[in-house]
Structure 1
């Protein structure tokens, strides 16, 4: 361990670099606000009066818009159904949650979208009955490839009135692909007759339609889901309220921080303007890069933190949230799991589910 005075010195120097870099980005954003507004159509901000908002980060704008419309209310509905089922019929709670997940899916994606997700899951389940890893992987890749077929895309666009509804279906199908792939692979690895009871179509649907992680993750493997969902003892209601209050407080702070960043620093708009990037100072360039990765970190504290909180209230252990890049010497550690295998240090255990999640969404 380094001496405390040396650690304090490094902390002060790091904070100084951070704040000065952000100040340079803020000052440059104010100087070029009109030019960026004309080029990227900055939105009228609601959090800070008088400041416009950079909305060029599609992922943040997309999920915030859907959250305000329906998703927050549907997630609150899941919380209410889960807690009531836990108090009234604990043994049948998975089936209450499955029914609610299907209903919530129908509310936002309609009958065609729900039928599409159900069809993909049934096809994957049928292929898994051959107990072939090759066929399971091939089936998942073929189902995933249908998302990029132009004719199929046009059909799915015809189901909805807006592009955002179509994109929500696309995002949901990619994340669901990871879930039914996990079920299929685990089914192939099982030795008959052990474990066959829970590797059935109803349990697969309970896993696929678990709503907190339905649209955007994070990813929980099928054995973890089954093992934790079937635990006889769940978190009592009197203990759930403090967990909910602390979780909502953290989420609110992270959301405010992310909104402050897009109101005060237009880093995403700057990346779309090559002339401006060539004209700014080196301090501003460094601040833009730092602000970009830190916004990515804070963004996923919110996007993954909301379903992670609901999973904890359901008695499940969610995957660890991403780690702050300012505390790491290598960016690859951002998506690594803190729950490591015995004998392995934290930087040696890679959470492949999160990595595959991002690659799948990019695909």
Structure 2
């Protein structure tokens, strides 16, 4: 038993060592390609000034990374640092009011960055869904929540609501849709939890505390209301042994990953090279495989860093947030292909597990997965690409159950037992 138990871990480490060696070998080829072709015409638009002292330009093809870690880095650090400072002062002086301080600081930060019209729009949606939650009908809360979410995903409702927020702040459109979308999902979580409460209702103040918690406000992750309510109002703020050490290590790991990505963008141009089809025809197979792998992992790294930074701040506030996404190269079943664990927890808690039961009945599983991926498609924004992605994932999730059921029949079950 000891040998069998150790074998998977041994294979896991062996796989990672081989993968690292292969990636280092491929990186050498990619570096040669980026160095010898830096003056190509296709490179001039996206490869721009970078580290002067190293003589290397930077791959700026990813607008999102450039926006977060170059143009608006100071804004993010300033807002989150202010939150940490105010939260720490309140925790020391009046811990019973810390959730209220989180709300006040969050509302002030949102008002400062987006203006009073945006805050009013958010509050109107909160009041609307809170009023509907008082009826305590799950189906009505779902209809109201998903209809409201659709108003931020479909025209002409998008343009009409976006018209309330004007200005030249470049980050404003991104913050608008991020804050509105996550607000609706949080309000829906609150409404569904209020339906489950047997004695009375949660107050609208609890909804505002939950929604305007700044680290989660614009870009999540979504922490369901039941978990946030318990943790934010927990009077016992003692930490476990080694918890601060783990938080510090996590913060340093996030910083290290940001630095590694910066080095890759300066020395390998993994985002610009694939856009030059003529160049791709002449590069080696090692370089092509390395580019494919790095681009596959790069999107996961962005999400892992964003959620990692947010989670570090929330853990300082004595919360236990959803974990960052699992590395995409370590996923091998459809049931684990969730990119955002906050959204995954939300859907599993309120839709997938609620409708799918124990996930051993084919019909219940089909209904639960169809509803889950239907809401996911609405969340991502209805389009043919999203519909195809949702269909393939929904089919794969059900296909796994069909195969499992098939092999429980004779003669396969007898063969397996023997």
Sort the TM-score into its range (normalised by shorter chain): 0.7 to 0.9
| 1:282 to 2:285 alignment | yes
Question: What is the DSSP-based 3-state SS (H/G/I as helix, E as strand, rest coil) of the residue aligned with 1:45?
Answer: strand
Q: Deviations over 1:248-268 (max 9, x none)?
A: 322211111121222222222
- Deviating more after overlay: 284-293 vs 22-31: 22-31
CA shift at 1:134, angstroms?
2.8
CA shift at 1:133, angstroms?
2.6
Equivalent residue, structure 2, for 1:113: 118
Q: Find the structure with the greater CA-based Rg.
A: 2
CA shift at 1:234, angstroms?
1.1
| 1:251 to 2:254 alignment | yes
CA contact (8 A) 1:297 1:325 kept: yes
CA shift at 1:326, angstroms?
4.2
Q: Any residues of structure 2 matched to 1:301-340 within 5 Å, and which?
A: 301-329=304-332, 333=336, 335=338
**RMSD over aligned Cα, in angstroms?**
3.6
Q: Specify which of 187, 195, 203 is matched with residue 180 of structure 1.
A: 187
Q: In 2, distance between residues paired with 1:38 and 1:266? A: 9
Question: What is the DSSP-based 3-state SS (H/G/I as helix, E as strand, rest coil) of the residue aligned with 1:34?
Answer: coil
Equivalent residue, structure 1, for 2:198: 192
CA 1:129–1:335 in 2, change beyond 3 Å: closer, same or farther?
Answer: same
Question: What is the DSSP-based 3-state SS (H/G/I as helix, E as strand, rest coil) of the residue aligned with 2:40?
Answer: helix
- Deviating more after overlay: 148-157 vs 24-33: 148-157
Q: In 1, distance between residues paired with 2:234 and 2:137? A: 30
CA contact (8 A) 2:115 2:165 kept: no
CA shift at 1:4, angstroms?
8.5
Q: In 1, distance between residues paired with 2:326 and 2:30? A: 23
Equivalent residue, structure 2, for 1:33: 38
| 1:167 to 2:163 alignment | no
Q: In 2, distance between residues paired with 1:139 and 1:58? A: 34
Q: Specify which of 231, 235, 253 is matched with residue 232 of structure 1.
A: 235
Q: In 2, distance between residues paired with 1:150 and 1:275? A: 41
Q: Any residues of structure 2 matched to 1:1-363 within 5 Å, and which?
A: 1=4, 2=7, 10-35=15-40, 38=43, 40-46=45-51, 49-65=54-70, 67-147=72-152, 148-150=154-156, 152-153=158-159, 155-156=162-163, 159-188=166-195, 190-193=196-199, 196-197=200-201, 199-235=202-238, 242=245, 245-329=248-332, 333=336, 335=338, 360-361=379-380
Structure 2 unmatched runs, 5+: 350-357, 360-368, 383-418
Question: What is the DSSP-based 3-state SS (H/G/I as helix, E as strand, rest coil) of the residue aligned with 2:219?
Answer: coil
CA 1:310–1:149 in 2, change beyond 3 Å: closer, same or farther?
Answer: same
Q: Deviations over 1:26-77 (max 9, x none)?
A: 2222333223655533231248732222222233223224642412111111
CA shift at 1:158, angstroms?
5.9
CA 1:318–1:357 in 2, change beyond 3 Å: closer, same or farther?
Answer: farther
CA contact (8 A) 1:36 1:42 kept: no
CA shift at 1:334, angstroms?
5.7
Count of residues in correspondence between the two structures? 352
Q: Determine which structure has greater relative contact order: mean sequence separation of CA pairs < 8 Å that are 6+ residues apart, divided by chain length.
A: 1
Structure 1 unmatched runs, 5+: 345-349
Q: Please, what TM-score do these two structures have when normalized by structure 2?
A: 0.73
Question: What is the DSSP-based 3-state SS (H/G/I as helix, E as strand, rest coil) of the residue aligned with 1:268?
Answer: coil
- Deviating more after overlay: 207-216 vs 255-264: 255-264
CA shift at 1:22, angstroms?
2.4
CA contact (8 A) 2:151 2:157 kept: no
Q: Please, what TM-score do these two structures have when normalized by structure 1?
A: 0.83
Question: What is the DSSP-based 3-state SS (H/G/I as helix, E as strand, rest coil) of the residue aligned with 1:319?
Answer: coil
